[in-house]
Structure 1
Amino acid sequence: MDDKNVTRITNIHLLGFQTPKSIKNFIFFLFLIIYCVTVGGNLTIIILISYSKILHSPMYIFLSQLSTSDILLVTDIVPNILRTVLVQEMIISFLDCVTQYYFFAVSGGLECFLLTVMSYDRYLAICRPLHYTLIMNHRFCWIMIFTSWVLSIVTIMIFTLTMLSLQFCGPNVIDHFFCDLSPILELSCSDTTILQLQVTVSSALFVVIPFFIIIVSYCYILVTILQIPSITGRKKAFSTCSSHLIVVSIYYGTLVCVYLVPSTGQSWNITKFLSLFYTIVTPLMNPIVYSLRNKDLRKSAEQILKKILENL
C-alpha cells in the first residue's frame, strides 16, 4: 500500500463497557472500590514483608514482587475503565494506547514468571526440604526476580517496537476496555506476519513453558504429599502451597481461555468478561488469598497493628 494514500490513525476510540445509564454510577464506584482495595491490599503485603524479619524468606520476597506486579497491572487498566464507564466511550491517542498495552503486557509477563518461580520454590520446600536453603538462597532469589523483570521488559519492548513500525489505517474503534494486542492488530493495514511470529514465540516463553513447569512442579508436590504418612503432615504440606495454587488456577485458566483457545465465534463480551479475571480479579484476590491462608502474614499484621495502637 502506498504510504501517501494511507490515512494513519492518531486517536483510538475505546468503547469499554456499554453499561445502562441507570447503573453507571454503581459500576463506577464498584470498580473504584475494587481498585482501592487491590492497591491497598497489595501495598499492605509489600509493607508487611519489608517490615517483618520473619517474612524475609524467598517465598515472601517473591510474593512482594507479585504484589508490585499487581499494582502496576491494575493502575494501568482500571483508571481507563473508570473513565469509559463515565463517558461511555473514551478517546485516547494511538501512542497512549500502545503504551498502555506495553505496561499491561510487562506486568502480565512478570506475573507469569513470578508464579512459575514461586511454584519451583514450593517444589523445593516440599519435595527437597534438605536442599532448600542451599538452592533457594537470597542470591538465587534476587537473580530470579531480576531475570523475570528483564525478560518481561525487553521481550515486550521488542514486539511493541515492531508494532509501532506497522501502518494503522482504521477503523480506529476498539471494542474493549483496554488496549490489548488483538484489537490493536485488527486496526493494522500492514503485513503482521513478523509480529505474529514474535507473539507466538513470546506466548511460549510467557505462558506455555511457565505453565508446563508449574504443572510438573505440582505433580511432584502432589506425589510427595500423598507419601506423607500422617494426615496432619499432609494438611500442613498442602497448606504451604494451596494459596499459590488457587492464584495460578484463576490466572492461567483465564489466560488460556482468552489467548490460547481459538476465538472463532466468541463474542467480545465474553472476551471482556474473561479479561476482567486476569486484569482485575486476580490482583484483587492475591492479597486476600495469601493473607487469609497465611499465618505469618496475619501474625506480622497483628504485631504492627499492636505497635501502632501502643504508640497512640
Structure 2
Amino acid sequence: MSSIFPKNLIELSLLFSFSPMVFHGSALANEPASTKPEKPTVKFYMPEDVGPMTREDSSSLKNGMSVHRRVISKPKDGSVLMDVGYNSFKAGAGSDKPYAYSKDELCYVASGEIYAQSEGKEVFARAGDFMWRPAGAATHQTKVLKDAVTICAFAPARDDEWSHRLPQSEIGKWDGDPEKKPHVIFRNYKDVQPMTRPGSPDYSDGRVVHRRIFTKQRDGAVYIDASHNFYKEGKETGPYSYTHDEVCWLESGEIEVTNDGVTHIVRTNEFMWRPAGAKTNHAKILKDSVSICFFAPARDDEWSHIVSAASGGE
C-alpha cells in the first residue's frame, strides 16, 4: 500500500503550500486530544476472575497441585510498585529444588500448613504467619503438609511472568558481609504489638486493631511493608487517600466503600488496589472484618502516608 505521508522535506513543504485546506481542516481535526495523566482510582478484583498461570518446568502448576493467580500485575493493570498473587496448594505439593528471586516478596499464610527449609533453618508456616523474603534470599526445600492458601506481594512489580526467578547458578551467592546476607524471615501477626494512633480512640478501644508486621523502621524493608488489620462492625471513616500504593485482601467480613462517589461492597476474598492519590470518600464496616494490606514503597513512619483525613485510613 502506498503511503499518504510526504517522503522528504521538499514534499512536506509542497503539501503545506498547496493543500491549505488539508492542513487547517482534516489534520487538526484528527489531532489527538491533549493527554492528561489518568486519575488514580480504587479498583477491585476477585481471584477467580483471573486465570491461573503455568510454567513449563513446574509439574505442580501444570497438574493443579499448585494454582497461582497474578491478581494485580504490571503487564495487566499497570501496577509498577508491586504486584499481588493468590496461591492455592494441595497437600503434597512442594519442591526440593532451591529457589530465590530478584524482587522482595511478602507472603501471608491464610490457611493450611507449609514446611520450608532455608539456609538450614526449618519452619512450619501456618495460618496467620507472614513471610518476608528479601531479594536474593533462598529457600532450599518446601512441602505443603495441609492444603494451603497464601497471598503474596512482590516489589517492585514483576515485569513479566517468571524472569524474577534467579538462575540456579546464582542462588546462594553472596560476596558481602555474612551478617548482612539476605534470609527468609517468618513472623506471626499475634507476635506483633498493635499500634496506637494519636487522636483516634478506635485504635485503643479495640474497634481497630492494626499490626504493622514487616516495616522499614524495624526490619529494613524498603520496597514494601505489610499489615494485619481488624475492624469492628459499625466503624466508619473517611475521607482519606495515601501517598503510597496499597493493595488489600479481605480475609473475612464485609466493608462498604465509596470512592469518587461510587459505592462498592468489598466481600470476603476480594482484593482492592488503591494507587497513590486515589480517594475514598467514606468507608463503613458492615461486618467484623480482617484485611491483609501491603504498601509500596514501604512507609517511612507510622502515619505520614495518610492524606486528607482526621482519623481515616490505616
Q: TM-score range by the shorter chain?
A: under 0.3
TM-score computed with the length of structure 2 as normaliser: 0.23
TM-score computed with the length of structure 1 as normaliser: 0.23
Higher relative contact order (CA 8 A, sep 6+): 1
Higher strand share: 2
